[in-house]
Amino acid sequence: MASNCYSCILDRAKFECDLLFSEDDSKREAMEELLDFMAHHKGEVPSVVGTERERIMKRRSKNPDPYREMKAESNQVATDLLPLTRRFYDESEDKLEALIRIAAAANSMEWGVKGHDFDVDSFEDVFFDTLMEKLDGDLEEARRRIDRFEKILYLTDNAGEIVFDLFVIEKLEKMGKSVVIGPKTEPVLNDVTAAEVKSMTKLSIEPTGSVIGLSLKEARSELLDILMADDWLVIAKGMGNFETMTEFDDLLKERLIYVMRAKCEPVSMKVGVSQGTLVVRTV
């Protein structure tokens, strides 16, 4: 946890309280329960505290999927942008760089992150410009790893974004790669779930749990077997995966690629880029 992680987690909690509760007493009680948890888990990984926040909100509101409508709207906007995405890919001389750019730019589809403004209504207007932004990282090493590995575990992040991810995965499969998709087991934030991915594709799926990012403690043995196998490359999308997996990514040396937009200040500082930068990082 960085010092500003605390206020960011609380800001998102307030955003969700306003989304889920009409009475201020209900909002206050939810915030106080989260504050009690934070007081007893100082220094914890931000995504772990964020996961508990989501569980508090869902339990108190009796709403198992608070972002359901937002996710559906994001998926529709992303679907409408697929023709532009295909054109960008088709006209790119470097196809692999184009795929990584598409995956990183799609990670912009996120609400409630302090310092990151996302408006689903205007995303269509800015998406092409986002694709053309500076991409920071070791692109050539990412290229070498994708070329070298035949099997890829692709850990997803948000709804909406998944539409672009499936486009990327389709192209990877056409390159001869065997891809397993890792969405959430059940709703958490606006992350895409296994059930939602199953409604969109017939590709192989291995759910990653009901937490923000990835927890080795909560992952199924089937996922751990893939994750730890030396012949699998792991592509991890988004800040939640980055926050959690940097706690154990030494186990994945030479076969892990992070792809994201560094939307918050602590993550951007950790990666060494300006806030909002598109990032590809190899471990």
Q: Report the distance separating Cα 283 and Cα 281, nearest Å.
A: 7
Q: Which fold has domain 3-61?
A: Helicase, Ruva Protein; domain 3 (1.10.8)
CA atoms within 13 A on the CB side of 175: 19
Tokens matching residue 192: 């895409």
| pLDDT tens-digit readout, 168-224 | 999 999 999 999 999 999 999 999 999 999 999 999 999 999 999 999 999 999 999
Q: Which pLDDT value is given to residue 27?
A: 98
Q: Which pLDDT value is given to residue 116?
A: 46
Q: Which fold has domain 68-282?
A: Rossmann fold (3.40.50)
Q: How far is CA 213 from CA 64, 65, 113, 137, 237, in A?
A: 18, 17, 15, 21, 9
What are the residue boundaries of the structural domains of the chain, listed by start?
3-61, 68-282
Q: Report the distance separating Cα 155 and Cα 274, nearest Å.
A: 24
Same fold, 3-61 and 68-282: no
| pLDDT tens-digit readout, 231-281 | 999 999 999 999 999 999 999 999 999 999 999 999 999 999 999 999 999
Q: Residue 114 pLDDT more than 60?
A: no
Confidence of residue 113 (pLDDT cuts 50, 70, 90): low
Phi, psi of 108 (to 5 degrees): -70, -20
Q: Which amino acid is at 176?
A: G
| pLDDT tens-digit readout, 9-66 | 999 999 999 999 999 999 999 999 999 999 999 988 999 999 999 999 999 999 999 9
Residue 54, classified by CB atoms within 10 Å of its CB into exposed (0-12), middle (13-18) or buried (19+), is buried
| pLDDT tens-digit readout, 237-250 | 999 999 999 999 99
Q: Which pLDDT value is given to residue 118?
A: 52
Looking at residues 100-122, what average pLDDT do you find? 73
Q: Which pLDDT value is given to residue 23?
A: 98
Look up the pTM and report it: 0.95
Looking at residues 124-142, what average pLDDT do you find? 92
Bridge-partner residues for 214, per DSSP? none
